Amino acid sequence: MSDYTGNNNESLVYFTRELSAEGLIKAYAKVCGNISGKVGVKVHTGEPHGPNIIPREWIKALMGRCIPEGRIIETNTYYDGDRYTTQQHRETLKVNGWDFCPVDILDEEGTAELPVVGGKWFDRMSVGGHILNYDSMVALTHFKGHTQGGFGGSNKNIGIGCADGRIGKAWIHTTPGQPDQWDIAKEEFMERMTESTKATIDHFGKHVTYVNVMRNMSVSCDCEGIEAEPVVTPDVGILSSTDILSVDQACIDIIYAMKEEEHHAMVERIESRHGLRQLSYMKELGMGNDHYVLIDLDNGGRRMTVQDAVRDLKPFTAG
């Protein structure tokens, strides 16, 4: 499932400051050894004209060079909007220019259930049925804040993004029989989302890998599109690992290593939603390692610190 083999080990997390298609390719190349067969690339393709998603041209370059037969995979939304039905979703994909490779809406033709081993909320999770057609998955994640989760990293991208739009997402978000669609929050929400993620990554075993892009980090999720809160957190870089906990933990550690004025909004969003429970619950479920070695791809693969990653950050500017 990852480089993680025991509590005393450290997983490898690769880091580049190069926020570009070349940087994305460089980060992915370090963690793609077990990606083979039919490959699904899990990307948040965004609401119409969403300003903060990973640039389409970066992903086009990555897939063209490294995953030429791959498909972007997505699911329909739980909320009523421009990606609620498959037809609406495909129109939004056109608006946002996701036309350079096939896009598979996993729940277009129904659902599948994957077991959740060791969960306290679920023994199974409902996901988009087409996920069973894939041999490997690349979680290509825009790291940012999140209205419910506090932050959205690889865990959110998979846990929410692979759960189908009608059943799985409802299990995660809503207590049956009451009117609030979003009543499940804080620790319980983090745990339910993480159990959903576990179902999917257990299904793929060693054939899943993770790339987090720390760019245009609004405290809002990309689900909010043009309504997202303005970005005030500096851009950082791209991280990759075969360990989901390590890559999300490293991103959080980088956020907390920033200066107060750089991370205030993001930390407030994370802590007010109890988002750090994502990390501690991944550890409890044995999904990865919170001890990692950060490797500097810009300087010969030397070991680095999170303080190195945030040194001399520039204030965010759009564009």
Within 13 Å and on the Cβ side, how many CA atoms surround 117? 6
User: According to the model, what pLDDT value does residue 235 have?
Assistant: 98
Along the 319 residues of the chain, how does pLDDT read in single tens digits? 344 333 458 999 999 999 999 999 999 999 999 999 999 999 999 999 998 999 999 999 999 999 999 999 999 999 999 999 999 999 999 999 999 999 999 999 999 999 999 999 999 999 999 999 999 999 999 999 999 999 999 999 999 999 999 999 999 999 999 999 999 999 999 999 999 999 999 999 999 999 999 999 999 887 877 778 899 999 999 999 999 999 999 999 999 999 999 999 999 999 999 999 999 999 999 999 999 999 999 999 999 999 999 999 999 987 6
Helix axes 277-284, 186-204, angle to 10 degrees: 50
User: According to the model, what pLDDT value does residue 8 have?
Assistant: 56
Partner residues linked to 125 by β-bridges: 114
Distance from CA of residue 124 to its chain's centroid?
21
CB 250 within 8 A of CB 11: no
User: According to the model, what pLDDT value does residue 223 have?
Assistant: 82
User: Which residue type occupies 123?
Assistant: D
User: According to the model, what pLDDT value does residue 250 have?
Assistant: 98
In 10 A of CB 227, how many CB atoms?
Answer: 9
User: According to the model, what pLDDT value does residue 87 have?
Assistant: 98
| Cα three-residue angle 138-43-215, rounded to 5 degrees | 105
| Cα three-residue angle 173-175-179, rounded to 5 degrees | 95
User: According to the model, what pLDDT value does residue 2 have?
Assistant: 40
**Does residue 64 sit in helix, strand or coil?**
helix
Measured distance CA(131)–CA(119) in Å, rounded: 21
Measured distance CA(294)–CA(174) in Å, rounded: 37
In 10 A of CB 312, how many CB atoms?
Answer: 6
User: According to the model, what pLDDT value does residue 222 have?
Assistant: 75
Instruction: Look up residue 119 and give its DSSP letter.
Output: -
Residue 306's φ and ψ, nearest 5 degrees, are -65, -30
Distance from CA of residue 237 to its chain's centroid?
15
DSSP string, 216-272: S--SS-GGGGGGSPPP-SPP-EEEEES-HHHHHHHHHHHHHHS-HHHHHHHHHHHHH
Which two three-digit tokens encode residue 36?
């083979």
User: According to the model, what pLDDT value does residue 3 have?
Assistant: 41
Polymer length in residues for the chain: 319
Smallest CA-to-CA distance from 233 within 218, 249, 211, 254 is with 218
Domains of the chain: 11-309 (3.40.50)
pTM given for the model:
0.96
E strand or H helix at 112, and its extent? strand 111-115
Q: Is residue 49 packed enough to be buried (19+ CB in 10 Å), middle (13-18) or exposed (0-12)?
A: exposed
Which two three-digit tokens encode residue 185?
């929050």
What is the residue whose two structure tokens read 């640039």?
55
Measured distance CA(274)–CA(276) in Å, rounded: 6
